Structure 1
Amino acid sequence: MCGKSHTMNASPPASAPPSPPSARQRRGSWPWRAAWVCVAVGFAAVALYAATQWARDRALGEAAIQARSAGQIHAALLRNNLDKFRALPFVLTQDVDLRAALQGAGKAQIEALDQKLEALSRGVGASAIYVLDKKGLAIAASNWREPATFVGVDYEFRPYFQGSVNRGSAEHFALGTVSHEAGLYLARRVDGPQGAMLGVVVLKVDFRDLESDWRQANAAIFVTDEHGVVLLGNLPDWRFKVLAPLAPALAQSLRTSLQFGDARFQPLPVTPPLQTASNGQLVRTEDALPRAAAGTALLHTTLPVIESPGWTLHQLSPVQAAVNQATANAQLGTALALSMLAALVGMVLYRRHRNLERAEQQAAIQQQLAALVDQRTAQLRDVNGQLVQEMDERQRAESQLHTMKDELVQASKLALLGQVAAGVAHEINQPVAAIRAYADNAGEFLRRRDEGAVQENLGTIAALTDRIGHITGELRAFSRKAGASVGPTDLMEALEGALLLVGPRARRQGVVLQSPPRSTPCSVQANRVRLEQVLVNLLQNGLEALEGLPEGRIVLTLQDAGETVLLYVHDNGPGLSDAARAHLFTPFHTTKPDGLGLGLVISRDIVAEFGGELRAADPQDAGSSSPEAPDRGALFILTLRKTPAQYPASSNSHDPRS
């Protein structure tokens, strides 16, 4: 015992027992002890305050990161909800029935357009789709059956109508004047053949499903416009309130425009007022939020909605529980460290002043410290487990976000592969059918020992095989690019190639193919392979219509129209019914048992890439395409642009039909 004490600097010599301090020494040490206690208490208070602030800032930083990640997901949901509707008004501007209605169609056609818009609105989930004439009057609408229909309402004062007239398209969020429901209006101008305005097509999008999804979140989510007005969110009572009071002139202007009805634009019940852009503003609200009572601390973060200029996505995330947990953990750790430090200091002081009792007291202190360390270690282990669990949850959320993005990319790839696969099956089917016909003919000629005809048929089969290679090569090129190259193409050579493909079938059916003279020069802007495919498709449709009919005939004639050339394809079959003509260019809509419903759709798109037009016409309305043309059946008109070198020659207005 004395030998162990001899190793300590504060211990007296081993040969002499420790002497107790005198009364004067004990009385003189009390002021110093009081001073050391004050210093220790002050140091502990500063340490606890610093640890609390550090833990609080760290918890708020992590909460801000999580809020930004969640905001990106909510913004992606909003973007996807808008993107699926933005292309529809543009597609509707090309609709034949809609354009006919704007050009003065009859009541029956208007009613048919109403039914089409009603089915389309129900199919895509739009709130309403309606058509305005050039004066802003609604002439057709998807809600034409409802009492509060838009038909007959004047929307000329609406900004989306004026914006479409001036700029071609417009987007405007407003409260409906008839339905009194808020939504985003997507409008696009419809132009006539000469560029004159025919009217405007409008699609109204509501966000009820999106707001319902947002209500599952544990934060307040809402979107504001450029003036700070709340447009939508998961708190219905906050709609049309503002981040900050509006200028009187601006508020009066918004009320006059009826964009938000009779909204009073009251400030949000949030203290302090929300900033227009924030990455971590702490606020409190008077209203109860999802999973947060009124008055609790909320973290305000924002994210601009790039696809809609002026829109901003706001989130108010509860952070009080996370901050309390973090500060409690920090205070616990700091208290543990201070306790250990105080214990060590106490041990040193105690050993200095109590050498005689040092051994027993040291053992007791060590035992006490060991128990305290075990307790604190267990607590730290539990806290560490909670932190690991929170990190795992965050990693799972990030993994889910990446999975959602990959699924969106994969869905886009599958859609493209479906279109390409359907196109390949449809385009290769025709030359393969021709190869089969020539092979059967070659077998018959071989039986007759007509070697010349056999060689000719085999040569034709080889050429058609190369043709299939050209078709598949062209489709591969089309899958890599936006479209095939367009340049000067001999229309008569393309027509001869098409007649070569369908000739065997026409002969088997006994159908007469009447074509323009081969010597007629005609160079158009097109692609040889794809132009032949369009012609083959039109001829095949005519042959299918004449299947089983006697004295079948298909007449092809050319008409010079100045800068364009019109090719008439006219058969004397049963013709097209009104129902078939209405869905003629609708994808996957067909009356053939083994048809895909893509032939005319693909052909129209190919001709549109050439800068031309493919349409079906009534033989009675369009007039006879040639003196030999039948007075019944189906008539398709293919319009192609001439090459610039032929423009001077077109001034003669030569019409091969004459």
Structure 2
Amino acid sequence: MGSFSAKSIRVRVALAAVLVVALTLVVALGLRAYAYGQALDELRRTVGRVARQQERLLSSELQRFRLLPIVLGEYPDLRSALVAGPGRAADRMNEKLALLAERTGAPVIYVVNAQGRTIAASNAQQPDSFVGRDFAFRPYFRGAMANGTAEYFALGNVSRRPGLFLARRLGPVEAPVGVVVVKVEFGGLARAWATDVGQTLLVDGHGVVVVATDPRARFSTLRPLSPGERAEIRETRQFGSLPLPLSGYRLGKRGEDRDRVGDKVLSAAVPAPLPGWRLIHVAPVRTALREADAWVRAATVLVGVALALLAAGWLWRQTRAERQLAARAALEEEVTRRTAELREANGRLTVEIGERIRADQRFRAAREELAQANRLGSLGSITAGVAHEINQPVAAIRTLADNARIFLERAAPERAGQNLASIVELTERIGSIVQEMRRFARRGTHGIGPVAIAEIVEGTMLLIGDRFRSAGVTLDRPMAGEALPMVMAGRVRLEQVLVNLLQNALDAVAGQAVPRVALYVEDDGGDTVAIVVADNGSGLDPALAPVIFTPFVTGKPDGLGLGLGIARDIMTEFGGMLETVPSRLGGAAFRVTLRRA
């Protein structure tokens, strides 16, 4: 009887083991199909997010350098050097360009006369100097002379280093003075891209990989080039004598993407901030599936443990106390192993969270750099007005000081004291103008707090008021001393928004018989306060109105299309908004809505 009982127990144990294994295998197959689907979906989202993040870094880098030709176009010494040709003016320009290149990180900055010959360059003192070289054959020179601006990627004709050439014409198309060129190289950007998992490829309109985190993919093509395309590239010497072979990457077919060595990958492509260019990010599928397998194994272990527990419960009444103790020991060992796996998974999750936080910090830093560049660009257009604002009181101070000296010589101290009091008032005004200009140029912080609209309006007028007076444009605005509400914002960034809107309005009314611009406050006593800037210009183009806040969309012939996009981002940070509204003056109007303090 004892032998029969032991045999019966062994049969039950064997049957329970077979059932547990069979059910665990069925569950494992289902979990594997689910985990693979989830892993691929997550990898697809990650690849798309990284591609968009890399494109934002590229856009930020390009925008930083796109401002340089515009700023250089305002240098009076630049035009003098182009008109005079080689000589002292060109030598001085060489020194200025070298200093500017060092401070901005640009590899080289140079200016070319209307015949295509380089007059001055930042590398004038180096062995590979561009000075005296003829670049008339380069497409970026011809494009800038014809269209005002041009951007062209190519191997350097002298340095043999690849880069993007940003060119801008000086002077009107019918009487050009020359072209200013800034070269941008992407080595640092590629190293920043390489910190993310996978490979990033920047592809031009011909399908040529011009920048890549995979060095072996550089200057290869994602598709075969036609004879016409190869002839065009050879004629312009865009890539010198490079053979431009096929890269081996097969991208674009969902589920069939392969990398250079044939491994399966997932890819995401986004438009790059250059016409016809794309930014592609690829990541290997193998790693994601390996992690999914690890998860399936862990989940299968849990399911197996659960089924084993059920089986153990079924066998519990049939087994002896020794078997119960052995099963408990096995369970504790399994739980310990699973706990270790969960700790390891938690450590990986912590690392991933840290990476995402750092990526967000890089994006915020890039956006602040773009806003700072926009403020400095605005300062360039208002500097002349601020200088005029300062020159007038300085001239008055000199006259009052001379008169005070005469009054003192004539023993008229009362009259001299009046003059000295006037001098004190004028110096206070000069100090307020300079302080406002320094505050505006200083890098803005993310602090948000109560600010007075009256102070914001007065600070803005200190910066651009003379532009309105010089242009003869009537500006209707709140009177000094008028009681205005407090709002939640950052002073410097809110002034940046108003300066941008007022400068746009001033440009919009140019050519009007009676130009008018109005800045007024709408306050209905609610939770929000609005500031409206309106003009009597020609109004917004209906085709541009829906996308006017999109980066690089502009109605100005020489505009970059960044100011309104930056202004809207600033308002979003303040918890407010920027929108277009009907103008009571008949032209265009923009309303800034802020939370009441």
TM category (shorter chain) comes to 0.5 to 0.7
Specify the alignment match of 1:110 in structure 2: 90
Match runs of 1:341-356 below 5 Å: 341=307, 344=310, 348=314
Q: Which amino acid aligns with 1:300?
A: S
**Shift in Å at residue 456 of structure 1?**
5.6
How many Å separate the matches in 2 of 1:454 and 1:147? 64
How many Å separate the matches in 2 of 1:258 and 1:389? 51
Specify the alignment match of 2:345 in structure 1: 387
Give yes or no for contact 1:255–1:263 (8 Å, CA) kept in 2: no
Give yes or no for contact 2:85–2:119 (8 Å, CA) kept in 1: no
Deviates more, 1:407-416 or 1:238-247: 407-416
How many Å separate the matches in 2 of 1:360 and 1:36? 12
Which consecutive residues of structure 1, in runs of 5 or more, have no partner in the other structure? Answer: 1-16, 287-294, 351-357, 490-523, 529-608, 612-640, 646-658
Specify the alignment match of 2:290 in structure 1: 324
Matched, 1:245 2:245: no
How many Å separate the matches in 2 of 1:106 and 1:174? 27
Q: Which amino acid aligns with 2:277?
A: W
Which consecutive residues of structure 2, in runs of 5 or more, have no partner in the other structure? Answer: 438-455, 476-504, 515-597
Matched, 1:225 2:194: no
**Shift in Å at residue 199 of structure 1?**
1.8
How many Å separate the matches in 1 of 2:230 and 2:203? 15
How many Å separate the matches in 1 of 2:215 and 2:81? 39
Specify the alignment match of 1:260 in structure 2: 239
Give yes or no for contact 2:63–2:370 (8 Å, CA) kept in 1: no
Specify the alignment match of 1:314 in structure 2: 280
Give yes or no for contact 1:474–1:484 (8 Å, CA) kept in 2: no
How many Å separate the matches in 2 of 1:128 and 1:83? 16
Specify the alignment match of 2:267 in structure 1: 300
Specify the alignment match of 1:483 in structure 2: 464
Per-residue displacement from partner, 1:615-638 (whole Å, max 9, x unpaired)?
xxxxxxxxxxxxxxxxxxxxxxxx
Give yes or no for contact 1:485–1:527 (8 Å, CA) kept in 2: no
Specify the alignment match of 2:354 in structure 1: 396
Instruction: Specify the SS of the correspondent of 2:242.
Output: coil
Match runs of 1:60-209 below 5 Å: 60-105=40-85, 107-191=87-171, 196-209=175-188
Match runs of 1:389-428 below 5 Å: 389-407=347-365, 427=390
How many Å separate the matches in 1 of 2:42 and 2:203? 25
Q: Which amino acid aligns with 2:357?
A: S
How many Å separate the matches in 2 of 1:205 and 1:472? 34
How many Å separate the matches in 1 of 2:88 and 2:434? 44
Matched, 1:375 2:325: no
Give yes or no for contact 2:268–2:282 (8 Å, CA) kept in 1: yes
Tell me the TM-score normalised to structure 2 length: 0.61
Distance 1:256 1:437, change over 3 A: closer
Distance 1:309 1:373, change over 3 A: farther
How many Å separate the matches in 1 of 2:98 and 2:460? 37
Per-residue displacement from partner, 1:322-342 (whole Å, max 9, x unpaired)?
532331232232244145326
Match runs of 1:438-587 below 5 Å: 441=404, 453=415, 457=419, 460=422, 464=426, 477=457, 479-480=459-460, 483-484=464-465, 486=467, 525=472
**Shift in Å at residue 188 of structure 1?**
0.5
**Shift in Å at residue 410 of structure 1?**
6.0
Q: Which amino acid aligns with 1:168?
A: G
How many Å separate the matches in 2 of 1:251 and 1:379? 60
How many Å separate the matches in 2 of 1:441 and 1:116? 43
Tell me the TM-score normalised to structure 1 length: 0.56
**Shift in Å at residue 400 of structure 1?**
2.4
Give yes or no for contact 1:486–1:527 (8 Å, CA) kept in 2: no
Number of residues of Structure 1 aligned to a counterpart in Structure 2 = 456
Per-residue displacement from partner, 1:273-320 (whole Å, max 9, x unpaired)?
1229x8x9763542xxxxxxxx76654344432x32333333343553
Give yes or no for contact 1:281–1:301 (8 Å, CA) kept in 2: no
How many Å separate the matches in 2 of 1:449 and 1:383? 94
How many Å separate the matches in 2 of 1:252 and 1:409? 40
How many Å separate the matches in 2 of 1:37 and 1:450? 114
Specify the alignment match of 1:275 in structure 2: 252
How many Å separate the matches in 2 of 1:62 and 1:50? 18
Specify the alignment match of 1:498 in structure 2: none
Distance 1:48 1:487, change over 3 A: closer
How many Å separate the matches in 2 of 1:150 and 1:72? 36
Specify the alignment match of 1:615 in structure 2: none
How many Å separate the matches in 1 of 2:512 and 2:408? 43
Per-residue displacement from partner, 1:112-159 (whole Å, max 9, x unpaired)?
433433443344332222222223233333334445443444333322
Q: Which amino acid aligns with 2:202?
A: V
How many Å separate the matches in 2 of 1:125 and 1:472? 29
Specify the alignment match of 1:565 in structure 2: none
Distance 1:34 1:388, change over 3 A: closer
Matched, 1:211 2:198: no
Q: CA RMSD in A?
A: 5.2
**Shift in Å at residue 185 of structure 1?**
0.5
How many Å separate the matches in 1 of 2:127 and 2:431? 59
Instruction: Specify the SS of the correspondent of 2:169.
Output: strand
Instruction: Specify the SS of the correspondent of 1:361.
Output: coil
